Amino acid sequence: MQPTHDTTTLITPVQPNISVIKRDGTTAPLNIKRIRDVVLWACEGFEVNSVALESGLKTRLRHGVTTREIQDNLINCALEMCSPEEPDWRYVAGRLHIWSLWKDTLVARHYQYDNYPQTVNVQITANAYDDRILTYTPDELAQAGNWINPDYDLDYDYAGAVMLTKRYLLPNELPQEALLTCALLIASVEEHHNRMVWARRIYEAIASRKISLATPILANLRVPGGSLASCFITAMEDNLESIFHEITNTARISKGGGGVGMNVSRIRATGSRVMGKENASGGVLPWVKLLNDTAIAVNQGGRRAGAVTVSLDIWHLDIPEFLECQTENGDVRRKAYDVFPQIVIVDEFMQRVKTKQDWTLVDPYEVNRVLGFELAELWGDRFDSAYAEVEQACEDGRLKLFHRVNARELFKEAMRTQVETGLPYMSFKDTINRLNPNKHEGYIPATNLCVESFSNVKPGKLAHTCNLVSLNLANIDDDLAHHCETSVRILDNTIDLTNAPFDASGAHNDRYRTIGVGAMGLADWLAKRRLKYGDRTEISTLFENMGYHCTRYSMELAQERGAYPAFEGSEWSRGNVLGGRDLDWINANATQPERWHQLARDIQTHGIRNSHVTAIAPNTSSSLVQGCTASILPTYSKFYYDKWAKGVVPIAPPFISDRFWFYTENKVMDQRIVVDAVATIQQWIDTGISMELLFNLNEGVYHDGVLTAKDIYETLVHAWEQGCKAIYYIRTVQKDNYKESDTCVACAN
């Protein structure tokens, strides 16, 4: 685990003229041999020259230097030497950071990894650990402590080590203790005779970085009263009671660190009638502003500002102003710079975009009052029929408050805003709802904050709630099925462990038991196999296997624990799989259709435990901890520096040393290739995928010259045509900041 020091065989003398201040405050002569041992240990197994690191340190030694300064200087030296030619220095810096953590912990509590039961008792006494960990006996805790492998701490590069220690660890807690405690708590809901077996299996999976727990689980599971869900969606009805109730729910979600999706499409438009008075409504923007300020005020316990995506349907009269809510011009009182706007797009609109037809923007309150239906609740053929009636009512004068625009010009205005700000997100409502397994009970109004997770929402009654993990494809080889099973069980258990932040969230958990097993490190998986993003057959097979194994195990859990309560009448109960794919589709697209046929029969017989099973999140920060590329997207660059608070940090994929040429850089990739890869994956994912698109605006990057607005337009339309359910951020590499060594500042979440 750590270097040993045999003082009887020192070959380099102690430096009597230089004293160092140790971490406990005492002083001692500088011992070069100890520094050399640490350097050799940190460099072991990497293609680096340890002498170069030691030499870089010597000029920084002085009388009265602290051992912490020495360690920090070693880390800085390693980071300075990191380059595309010698990327392993980032792992050396990561080990040195972990070494410092070990030493700080030893000074603070006088032991490291050799007394896990004592760690539990200390953290319980400090009210830092949830006391549900005490469901395990002292002997079981001691047994679990023996599973800890400190060498897992040595696998992190510097970015991952810092992210793990600064964001996720509690005071005087070591990484493996945090992961083991999470594993034990997740397994605590198991039958008594099985819980230690499952606890060890879960610990091994997350400690070896084959499964990544989402931030709310890793950060909140150990602490009392933590909310474990990552994703929430709720909606406002068009009355003050509902509006302020949902703003309060937004605050509750934000307090626990969850991301909020808020649909405001029912809210009456600017100029609509209020209490019988014409032209009295201020529209949706004042309420969006309140959501914006709530996100700032309830800042996740001081860790970071709350995160809220506010969604509005594309037919709403306030859409043009909504698209301008983050621009610099206009009334500042109607701006919302800290939320993430999202437009909800139906197929009829996209058809008119393609044919340059007019589109009619209307007030939902007037539509409901005059025509008797809530337009926000409709999708597909029912929307098309209702919208035709709406437009006829505008023609014959029954509806007074409307505005006609050219559909393509409105889409281009959204696109212009995306290029400038990265937003709005786009969610394709009809595509999402066609593959909604629970359309027998309702509809999906929009997506969550990261556009990958969604299910039925009923204002005031059901708020979409979902827990997430991700498979780390960089570290998974022949054990995909094993870790799919472990992931589904982890997430189903967390539903029983979480503290829902409000009643509608708890009701959704009880009725749908929605989970999202995702993936990260696809770029690494491809590079290991000398494949590219154009190899869609191999990509499809990988995600078919993932979708199959996750779905199959949710069915097996239903045999053990029962199906989710809304199962009867769902697409699953009708013999369709993956949220609504029928067996004819399976026959045409699956590599092994017969196993899907059997699974469909088994689900009809036994049910399925979770209404939604798979969803691929962006996992931008958690992928740093996992040491892999984020999500299923290409890496931005093979090597770059990210700007952090304390300077710049080198970022590179894990296999860059021996697979350099098989990493395709997103900053120079035609995004239609990305769209096609995501569309291929989406076939096997029953919920959604966080698909960012990155456009390089510099000349000569793409083979056909400078990227144009037409290229971006065609890529976005292509995403809809190919069946992508949503578009997350639009990122651009601007003409004045394109350098090989630059950080992708615009790509930071």
If we measure between CA atoms, which residue out of 547, 546, 564, 545 comes closest to residue 606? Answer: 564
Pairing relationship of beta strands 27-30 and 15-21 according to DSSP bridges: antiparallel
- What is the C-alpha separation between 617 and 626, in angstroms, rounded? 14
190: exposed, middle or buried (Cβ count in 10 Å: 0-12, 13-18, 19+): middle
Q: Each residue of 117-130: b (16+ CB within 10 Å) or e? A: bebbbebeeeeebb
Residues whose CB is less than 8 angstroms from the CB of residue 79 and which lie 6 or more positions away in sequence, other chains included: 89, 90, 93, 158, 647, 649, 650
H helical segments located in 256-346 = 285-297, 319-323
Residues whose CB is less than 8 angstroms from the CB of residue 719 and which lie 6 or more positions away in sequence, other chains included: 675, 678, 679, 691, 693, 727
C-alpha distance from residue 513 to each of 285, 489, 573 (Å): 33, 12, 16
If we measure between CA atoms, which residue out of 142, 366, 161 comes closest to residue 269? Answer: 366
Residue type, 37: D
What does the pLDDT read at residue 15?
61
- Tell me which residues are annotated as active site: 448, 450, 452
C-alpha distance from residue 199 to each of 180, 340, 457, 557, 559 (Å): 8, 38, 34, 17, 21
**Residue 114 CB neighbours (<10 A):** 11
C-alpha distance from residue 129 to each of 116, 190, 195, 339, 366 (Å): 13, 19, 19, 32, 53
- What is the C-alpha separation between 228 and 219, in angstroms, rounded? 8
What does the pLDDT read at residue 49?
93
pTM assigned to the model: 0.93
What does the pLDDT read at residue 2?
56
- The sign of the dihedral angle between the CA atoms of 317, 320, 323, 324 is negative
What does the pLDDT read at residue 702?
85
16: exposed, middle or buried (Cβ count in 10 Å: 0-12, 13-18, 19+): exposed
- What is the C-alpha separation between 619 and 469, in angstroms, rounded? 9
φ, ψ of residue 16 to 5 degrees: the values are -70, -20
What are residue 212's DSSP bridge partners? 470
Cβ distance 353 to 403 under 8 Å?
A: no
Query: CA-based angle 93:97:100, to the nearest 5?
Result: 140
What does the pLDDT read at residue 607?
98
C-alpha distance from residue 737 to each of 598, 693, 694, 733, 743 (Å): 54, 18, 14, 7, 9
C-alpha distance from residue 33 to each of 3, 8, 11, 12, 37 (Å): 11, 12, 8, 6, 6
Cβ distance 399 to 366 under 8 Å?
A: yes
φ, ψ of residue 233 to 5 degrees: the values are -135, 130
For residue 158, the surrounding DSSP H or E stretch is: helix 158-163
Tokens in use for 179?
């992961």
What does the pLDDT read at residue 11?
38
What does the pLDDT read at residue 743?
32
**Domains of the chain, each with CATH number or no CATH:** 1-107 (no CATH), 111-190 (no CATH), 231-431 (3.20.70.20), 453-747 (3.20.70.20)
What does the pLDDT read at residue 1?
56
- The tally of CA atoms less than 13 A away on the side-chain side of residue 448 is 30
C-alpha distance from residue 694 to each of 72, 413, 517, 668 (Å): 35, 18, 25, 9
- What is the C-alpha separation between 433 and 393, in angstroms, rounded? 27
Ramachandran region of residue 327, left (φ > 0), alpha (ψ -120 to 50) or beta? Answer: beta
> Over the chain (749 residues), what is each successive 10-residue block's mean pLDDT?
43 65 90 91 94 81 86 93 94 97 94 95 96 96 97 96 94 97 98 96 98 94 92 97 96 89 98 92 96 88 77 98 90 91 98 98 98 98 98 97 98 95 97 97 97 97 97 96 98 96 96 98 97 97 98 98 98 93 95 97 98 96 95 94 82 91 93 98 98 92 84 97 97 67 31
What does the pLDDT read at residue 7?
35
